[in-house]
Amino acid sequence: MSTKNIEELEREFQAKIDADIKIEPNDWMPEGYRKTLMRQISQHAHSEIVGMLPEGNWITRAPSLKRKAVLLAKVQDEAGHGLYLYSAAETLGLDREKSIDDLHSGKAKYSSIFNYPTLTWADMGTIGWLVDGAAIMNQVPLCRCSYGPYARAMVRVCKEESFHQRQGFEIVSLLANGTPEQKQMAQDSLNRFWWPALMMFGPNDDNSPNSAQSIKWKIKRSSNDELRQQFIDVTVAQAEMVGLTIPDKDLKWNEARGSYDFGTINWEEFNQVIQGNGPCNKERIDARRNAKENGAWVREAANAFAEKRKKKELTH
């Protein structure tokens, strides 16, 4: 019997990656690859679920029947994204309940953006426009991720995210072209969400220690700074289109680079939010933990009932 040694396996694995052959759940993979992916996918799943809260906050106050329906459907899509992503992570051996408990204890992370409050209806537009917009920038490259189940989940998720982005932009443009109060509401919302949206791409490349390995494994396909720049270039044009002002006095078109130069991100704020000190970290986690705790009796009942039925079938 010939057993391949670890180096051989790793070499073959990297060769597959380099040849753009997808890795599937039963294929051999390095432990580091499995762990990195599992962390990335579960964080993404948690982000989808926690991300339901800031928008869920406005469903009962949506200003029209149409907006209420669209927002309900959107938040429901995010729950669906959470479900596919948990399933994708389970193919790598994730224990969903344990991972959710890690989220509730603060051990597992999720996107920092959802720790900002939604204070006005305009935030429903801005979140779709900027947050789903940034998510698309991050996720479109992941449709080509080396891990099959994740790549396939991303294809489906990205389609819906781009739909959300368009709906969000529609809300924003309606407000921006509306009454003075509406325009002000849209501008205030952009002022609050612009910088946090830029932080969604993560630290600068020099401060992103795991990036190089992830790019080699094709778990990540572009660097944080590249994606951030791409996002800014696209979004500035959209803001101009509706007559809103990006709250960055250093924002300037750079002819030579063919991109916008922009101001310095407040990384101290980013780190604080990541560490749990953002404006809504506690509220978001409390809400998720309460949902789980208040639902415990329902899950127990469902299990007990299923057990009883199984026994009944056996005795019949």
Partner 1 sequence: MEYLTCNHMTTQEAFYSYIVRLGDDSLILGQRLSEWCGHGPVLEEDIALTNIALDLIGQTNNLYELAVSIENKGENIDQLAFLRLEKEYENLLLVEQPNVDFGYTIVRQFFFDVYRKLVFEALCNSTDERLAGIAEKSLKETKYHLKHSSEWVIRLGDGTEESHRRVQEAVNTLWKFTDELFFQDEVDQNVIELGLGVDNSNFKATWNSHVEHVLTEATLTIPTNSWQHTGGRKGIHTEYFGYLLSEMQYMQRAYPNMEW
Size of the site for partner 1 (CB under 8 A): 46
C-alpha closest to that of 153 among 7, 22, 304: 22
Q: Are 185 and 124 in contact (CB under 8 A)?
A: no
Residues numbered 32 to 51 that lie near Fe ion (CB under 5 A) are 48
Please choose which of partner 1, Fe ion, none residue 73 contacts, taking the beta carbon within 5 to 8 angstroms, the exact cut-off set by kind: partner 1
Q: Which residue, 249 or 310, has its beta carbon nearer to partner 1? A: 310
Work out which of 6, 15, 21, 69 binds partner 1, going by CB under 8 A: 69
Q: Are 128 and 168 in contact (CB under 8 A)?
A: yes
The least distance separating partner 1 from the CB of residue 171, rounded to whole angstroms, comes to 8
Chain Cα centroid distance, residue 116 = 14
Pairing of strands 259-261, 252-254: antiparallel
C-alpha closest to that of 263 among 277, 246, 275, 280: 246
Q: Is 1 among the residues that bind partner 1 (CB under 8 A)?
A: no
Q: Is 178 among the residues that bind partner 1 (CB under 8 A)?
A: yes
Q: Which amino acid is at 245?
A: T
Work out which of 67, 164, 218, 220 binds Fe ion, going by CB under 5 A: 164
Q: Is 38 among the residues that bind partner 1 (CB under 8 A)?
A: no
Residue 191: CB atoms within 10 A of its CB come to 14
Q: Is 182 among the residues that bind partner 1 (CB under 8 A)?
A: yes
Chain Cα centroid distance, residue 205 = 19
Work out which of 5, 60, 264, 315 binds partner 1, going by CB under 8 A: 60
Quote helix, strand, coil % in the chain, to nearest 5.
Answer: 70, 5, 25
Q: Is 78 among the residues that bind Fe ion (CB under 5 A)?
A: yes
Q: Is the torsion defined by CA of 282, 285, 289, 290 positive or negative? A: positive
Residues numbered 252 to 281 that lie near partner 1 (CB under 8 A) are none
Q: Is 90 among the residues that bind Fe ion (CB under 5 A)?
A: no
Q: Are 195 and 231 in contact (CB under 8 A)?
A: no
Q: Is 81 among the residues that bind Fe ion (CB under 5 A)?
A: yes
Work out which of 171, 176, 199, 200 binds partner 1, going by CB under 8 A: 171
Work out which of 85, 132, 167, 232 binds Fe ion, going by CB under 5 A: 132
The least distance separating partner 1 from the CB of residue 61, rounded to whole angstroms, comes to 5
The least distance separating Fe ion from the CB of residue 18, rounded to whole angstroms, comes to 28
Q: Is 55 among the residues that bind Fe ion (CB under 5 A)?
A: no
H or E element, residue 84 = helix 65-90
Q: Which residue, 83 or 251, has its beta carbon nearer to partner 1? A: 83
Residue 159: CB atoms within 10 A of its CB come to 12
Q: Is the torsion defined by CA of 13, 18, 19, 23 positive or negative? A: positive
Residues that bind partner 1 (CB under 8 A): 49, 52-53, 56, 59-69, 72-73, 75-76, 79-80, 82-83, 86, 121, 171, 174, 178-179, 181-182, 287, 290-291, 294-302, 304-305, 308
